[in-house]
Amino acid sequence: MGQRIGKEKINREEGYLYFVGKDGYVWAAPMKHKSGGKKKRIGTEKIEKESGYMYYVDKGGYVAKAKMKNA
């Protein structure tokens, strides 16, 4: 589906949602059912984002991008 663009592997923790923020870094935010915890920056790799793509952390733990249909 997507194309792997990240070189740094992200180790996932249970109860966190992972996303690429506006600043280009991967962030982890606690899910609603997880009590406590704060949003925190994960890793040191900065991703240059392009318009029309969705960015996410794939099953392998690397940042990937996929073309959005209606963008």
Q: What is the pLDDT of residues 51-69, one digit of tens each?
A: 999 999 999 999 999 999 8
Q: Which residue has the higher pLDDT, 34 or 14?
A: 14
- pLDDT at residue 34, rounded to an integer: 67
- pLDDT at residue 47, rounded to an integer: 93
- pLDDT at residue 36, rounded to an integer: 75
Per DSSP, what are the bridge partners of residue 68? Answer: none
Instruction: Provide the phi-psi class of 44: left if phi over 0, else alpha when psi is between -120 and 50, else beta.
Output: alpha
Please, which pLDDT band fits residue 9 given cuts at 50, 70 and 90?
Answer: very high
Q: Which residue has the higher pLDDT, 49 or 70?
A: 49
- If one counts the domains in the chain, the total is 1
Domain that holds residue 33: 3-67
